Structure formats: C-alpha cells, structure tokens
Amino acid sequence: MAWFGCAEAVTEAVEAKCGEPFWACIKILAIGFGVDHAKAAEIMPLCTNIVGLAVWVTDLLRLPTLREKTPRRLSLNLRLAALSALSCPSISPDFSWPLFSKVSHLEFVDPWEDCGSCVGWESITNLTHLGYMFDLEREKISQNAELVSHVSHVLKACHSLQVFVLMNRGHANNASEDQEMRIFEDPRAVLMVRPLDKRKRWETQWYGVRDFWSEAEEIVRLQRELSLRSFMDPRCRNPFQVILVPE
C-alpha cells in the first residue's frame, strides 16, 4: 500500500524522480491532510494503476487528473470538497465523472449532511457498498426526516447497492438502534457502532482480513433471512441488527 500521509513522503518520492515502473506499482493510494494541493497535483498523473483511492485533503476535486481516475474503492472527505466547490461551483461532485464509474465501495468520512445534497445516484451503476457517518447521540435517525428521505432515495435509486452503512460516532444502545434502523424497511441498511477511525478502516480492507464491510455484509445476510422468515410467518420478528465494533 502507498500511504502518502505527510508532505515529506510525497516530496521524497517526487524529488527522487522515481521512474514509471515505481509509480505503476502503486495501486492503493491514500492522500492525508499532510499533503498539500500542489504535491497531490504532482503525484496524481504519475499513479496510473489506482484501484483504491482515499482523498482526505482539500481542493483535490479541482484536479482533472483526480476526476479521471477510475478506482474500485473510494474514500472521500466530501466536506472539504464541498468547501472547494463553493468558490468554483462547476467542480461540485458529479457521479458521472470517470472517478465514480467503476467504484463498488464508496465511503464518505464526513457527517451525512455533507452527502445529502449529492444527486445522480442512478449513474453509479457498479456501486455495491456505501458508507456514511452519523452521530446518533446528537439526533435519532427517526427524528431526522431529511436523512430518512435521503437514505430511502439512495436505496431505491442504486439497484446494485448491497450494503448501506450508517457509521455511528456515538455509543451503542442495542434496543434503540434496533428500532431506529427499522424505519428504512430495507435489510441493506446497517448501523455500525463506533467503527474504526478512517485510516484503520481504509487500511484493514486491503489486508485480506475481516473488515467493517465484510461485517456489514454478514449483518445484511442475516437481515435478509429474517425478512424472508417474517414474510413466510408474520409472527416472526424482523429486527434490524447493530454491529458492535470493539474500540
């Protein structure tokens, strides 16, 4: 994995004038807050074989070379992207960009409100896994009509979507979260309590071990079974599950 988490690391690679074979080997790239816009602009054209891309630094949606990447897994700081878009409306996130054309796993590391204005979900035809952040301690899901409407719309619009994870920043209360997730009436909707921080979430999924996506998939499978059982026998309860991730 290539982790360009600090300006020094990026500077070293660029200033060492590493050749094309070196950059072609980089398939997983995470650009953290230590990398400025100028350095990111230097390395994006060099990385031609990206399959996993995490962008947590501001202004990068200004880069055509970023929008032209076609990763399969993508993690975005949409709040910073939105701040950039304020000064240049034409670069607001657009799901018709090549950037989203092959994405199967998409995670937004911001509060869900920064994702709520996104439109065009129908155009992300390969999307199977989607993750949002949500603070259940601040507000209940059922009391946020805008969130419920948005999540319901995405679930209907993305026919390929298999897992929609709301990653709760707050603490777990199994009974209340169980009730909260039922509002969507869709087994693909999963609430994960206290997930790992974004860097750990990002890195773990590439190590071939059980990660938060695979945990969510297991919960969706169980919920589908319970949903079918409930359909066959109305006396059966159809709870929506909560994943408890150790700190």
Q: What is the pLDDT of residue 83?
A: 47
Domain residue limits, the chain: 1-91, 104-247
pLDDT of residue 75: 92
Burial 168-207 (b: 16+ CB within 10 A, else e): beeebeeeebeebbebbebbbbbbbbebbebbebbbbbee
Q: Which pLDDT score is estimated for 104? A: 98
Q: Where does 71-194 have alpha helices with state H?
A: 78-87, 145-157, 174-181
C-alpha 136: how far from chain center? 18
CB 227 within 8 A of CB 182: no
Per-residue pLDDT of the chain (247 residues; tens, 9 = 90+): 555 545 456 667 777 888 888 888 888 888 876 777 777 888 888 888 999 999 887 667 778 888 899 999 999 887 655 444 444 444 567 888 899 999 999 998 877 777 777 778 999 999 999 998 887 666 778 788 888 889 999 999 999 999 999 888 765 555 455 566 777 889 999 988 766 788 888 888 988 888 989 999 999 998 888 877 665 555 555 444 444 444 4
Contact criterion met (CB below 8 Å) for 102 and 125:
no
Supply the DSSP string of 174-198, one letter for each residue.
HHHHHHHHGGG--TTEEEEESPPPH
Query: What pLDDT is stored for residue 230 in this prediction?
Result: 63
Q: Which of 215, 156, 157, 158 is nearest to 185 (CA)?
A: 156
Contact criterion met (CB below 8 Å) for 204 and 212: yes
Compute φ and ψ for 153, nearest 5 degrees.
Answer: -65, -45
What is the rounded CA–CA span in Å between residue 156 and residue 189?
A: 12
Tokens of 52: 């996993």
